[in-house]
Amino acid sequence: MARTVSWLPRLPALLHSVQDSVRSHYTAREIEQLFEIQPRSAQMLLGLLPTVRIGRTLLVEREILAGFLARLAEAEDANQQLRALRAAPKPPAVRRKLRDLVRRDTDSSSLPPNIEMEKGKLTIQFQNIEELSQSLWRLAQILEEDLEGFADHYEPEADTPLQPDSEEEMEEQDAQWIAQWLKEHE
C-alpha cells in the first residue's frame, strides 16, 4: 500500500489559506513552506500543475493551485486522486503573458475593523482577549510582509536636531560634549 502524503490531512486548511490569499502566484519555495514539504516534493507538486516560467523560476497561479486543492478535497479518496494525477501526462505550460505578480499572502491595507491607525498612534478596541490576540496577530503579519511600507505610512516624522547657525556655536557644542564625556569617564 502506498504511503499517505504528509500534507493531505491538512488539505482543508491549505485550501482555505490559498483561497484567502491575495498572492497571484506561488514558487516552489513558497509551496515548500505552505505545504511543509521538502524541495523535491515541491518540484514534483509543481510538475502536476500548469506553470509559468519567469527566468529559471516556475510559478503556479493561485487559482490553479486552489482548483487543484479543491479537486483533492472533493474526492472520496484524495490519496488515490493524487496518484491518478501523477500518472496523467504533464499539463502544458501557460503561454499567456504574466500581467500581475503579487508575492504576499494578505492585503496589507486590510486592517481589522477594530484597529485604528494614524502616524505615531495605534488604537485597538476589543471585547475579549481572543479578539485582541487575533488583531495583534494580523498586525504582526502585515509588519512581517511589508515593514518598510508600513513604517513609511505610519511612523512619525523624526525630529531633526537644530543645526548650529555658526561655526562658533558648533565649536561650543563640541567643547561641551567633550567636557561632559571627560567628566563621565574620570
More reliable by pLDDT, 64 or 147:
64
CATH assignment at residue 15: 1.10.10
**Residue 7 Cα distances to 34, 65, 78, angstroms:** 10, 14, 11
Question: For residue range 25-39, what is the model confidence (pLDDT) as tens digits?
Answer: 888 999 999 999 999
- Is the pLDDT score of 102 beyond 60? no
**Domain for residue 55, yes or no?**
yes
Contacts of 31 (CB under 8 A, 6+ apart): 37, 42, 45, 46, 60, 65
pTM of the model: 0.52
- Using 50, 70 and 90 to split pLDDT, how confident is the model at 135? confident
Question: For residue range 69-87, what is the model confidence (pLDDT) as tens digits?
Answer: 999 989 888 888 888 888 8
| Location of C-alpha cell 491595507 | 109
**Domain for residue 49, yes or no?**
yes
The whole domain housing 65 covers 8-87
Report residue 131 as a C-alpha cell: 479578539
CA distance 40 to 85: 17
Q: Residue range 146-172: average pLDDT? A: 73
| Location of C-alpha cell 523560476 | 57
**Same domain for 73 and 13:** yes
- Phi/psi of residue 57, each to 5°? -100, 135
**Same domain for 127 and 77:** no
**Same domain for 74 and 121:** no
Tell me which amino acid residue 12 is.
P
Neighbours of 94 (CB within 10 A): 16
Last residue of a domain, one of 69, 87, 105: 87
**Domain for residue 176, yes or no?**
no
**Domain for residue 35, yes or no?**
yes
Q: Which of 62, 30, 40, 38 is nearest to 49 (CA)?
A: 62
